[in-house]
Structures are given as structure tokens and as C-alpha cells.
Amino acid sequence: MKVAVIGTGKTGSAVVNMLGDEAIPYNLNNKPTVDSLSSSKADIAIVFVSPAAAGEIVELLLEAKIPAVWGTTGYQWPADLPGRVKAAGTRWVIGSNFSLGMNLIRKTIGILGKGADLLKNPEFHIHEVHHKDKKDAPSGTALSWKEWLAQDPSISSDRQGDVKGIHSLHIKTINESIWLKHEAHSRDLFAEGAIWTAKYLLKHPHIDPGVYPFSSIFDRAFKEIL
């Protein structure tokens, strides 16, 4: 497998380090082109670029017609992107959080949210902790937990040190408590998940051309192990 790694910031650099000789890194000093992607025989691209750079890379990869795994966040994806990727005959996966563990959490929270209807007067609380420089609160992940729960939890936030991300759910009744917690130990987990996704796409060439959220690829793999 040869992977064009476009964008070598913190996560992109982690992807390059994990892939070793399989990585073909591109950055501001070595910009990708259709010709360079073709000559390097890249099987797939993993992209972690800023929103400002994303539009140019979208057009490049559409012309190159290679599959891609996108970790760019904060970019307004064009409405016609799914049709254009499909017309190019390739597959793209887009994700804001490539943590495999977080997707197990997503499935678990869904079960807890539905099952809580069997409890008597349950109360729900989500608490998240991140590094002191994170400005937004609550975190996007905490808001996703609320969405997955399909209940009405209270949400609290804390900012301290260099915490990578801790999220917990507390379901409480008068007689018992249920706790669910996820803690990120390293930002490398996002690189790990992006590489897993790239390998999955290449191992499953029968997946139809188009654009897929990371969660749908995870769910497909999850069904395979049941």
C-alpha cells in the first residue's frame, strides 16, 4: 500500500510516522499534483489539511481519481461533491473524529439512551474535559454524545492542562447510577483510525463509488464481526 499523506501537521505527521515507507508525504514545501500522484502510484490519499487548503485538494483528488480519507474539519463541503466523487468512480470517507473507540461508544450510548426509557425518572449528565487552550465549550464530541443519547442531558465542561479529551456520561436514578467514560491518551488515535479506514477501503473494492461518513464505514466493519 502506498499512501499520499496530504498535510503534515500534528495528525498528518503521526500518519507518516505510523506508515513509514508506505507514506508519500505532501505539504506546503512539496505540494501534490495529479502527475506526482500518478508517478508515485499512490493507492489512496489521507488528508489532514486546513479548511482554507481543502478546496484546492478536493479538485486535485477528483482529477486524480484516487480514493481518499479526509480528516479536515471546519470546511463547507460542496453540495455536489457526492455526485462528483461518484462520477470519478472513486470512494471518499470524511470524518471529524477517527477514533475507533469513540465509535464503539456511539453504539453503546445509543443502546443506553433507548434502554433508559425502562428506568424510573432517570437523569442524564455529560461531562467533558479538554486542554486549557481549547476555546469552544461544550466540545463537539459532547454535543455528539447528546445527539446519540437522544435524551435531554445536562452538559458541563472543564479546561485543564494538556488533557487530550475525557468524556463521561452519568445516568442516575434514585436507586442506581450508570457510568460510561472515554479518555483519549494520545492524538495519535486519530491517525491510527485514518490508516485503518484507508486499509479498509482498499480491502473492500466492491464498496460503491461515493462519499461516506466514517461512522458508516465503521458500522459496516462492525457488522462483519458480529
CATH number at residue 171: 3.30.360.10
Beta-carbon contacts of residue 2 (< 8 Å; ≥ 6 apart): 22, 24, 40, 41, 42, 43
130 part of the active site: yes
Same domain, 92 and 38: yes
**pLDDT confidence tier of residue 116, bands split at 50, 70 and 90:** very high
- Structure confidence at residue 182 (pLDDT): 97
Please state, as a whole number, how many other Cβ atoms lie within 10 Å of the Cβ of residue 55. 14
Same domain, 93 and 111: no
Same domain, 35 and 55: yes
Q: What percent of the chain stands above pLDDT 70?
A: 100
Average pLDDT of the chain is 95
Q: What is the domain range of residue 177?
A: 100-183
Same domain, 194 and 170: no
Quick: pLDDT tens for 162-218: 998 999 999 999 999 999 999 999 989 999 999 999 999 999 999 999 999 999 999
Residue 120 burial class via C-beta count within 10 angstroms: exposed 0-12, middle 13-18, buried 19 and up: exposed
Distance CA 148, CA 118 (A): 17
Active-site residue, from 130, 146, 167, 182? 130
Same domain, 124 and 161: yes
- Structure confidence at residue 133 (pLDDT): 87
Edge-to-edge, what's the strand order for the sheet holding 68-70?
A: 23-26, 3-6, 44-47, 68-70, 91-94, 210-213
Integer CA distances (angstroms), 171 to 13, 140, 214, in order: 39, 20, 28
Same domain, 61 and 12: yes
Distance CA 206, CA 72 (A): 25
Same domain, 112 and 179: yes
Residue 197, domain CATH? 3.40.50.720
Same domain, 156 and 211: no
Mean pLDDT of 121-126: 98
- Structure confidence at residue 73 (pLDDT): 84
Of the two residues 135 and 75, the one the predictor is more confident about is 75
- Structure confidence at residue 97 (pLDDT): 86
Active-site residue, from 2, 86, 107, 134? 134
Number of structural domains the chain divides into? 2
167 part of the active site: no
Same domain, 140 and 107: yes
Given a cut of 90, is residue 140 above it in pLDDT?
no
Given a cut of 90, is residue 46 above it in pLDDT?
yes
Same domain, 16 and 88: yes
Same domain, 104 and 93: no
Same domain, 168 and 199: no
- Structure confidence at residue 52 (pLDDT): 92
Q: Which amino acid is at 55?
A: G
Distance CA 224, CA 39 (A): 35
Mean pLDDT of 22-30: 94
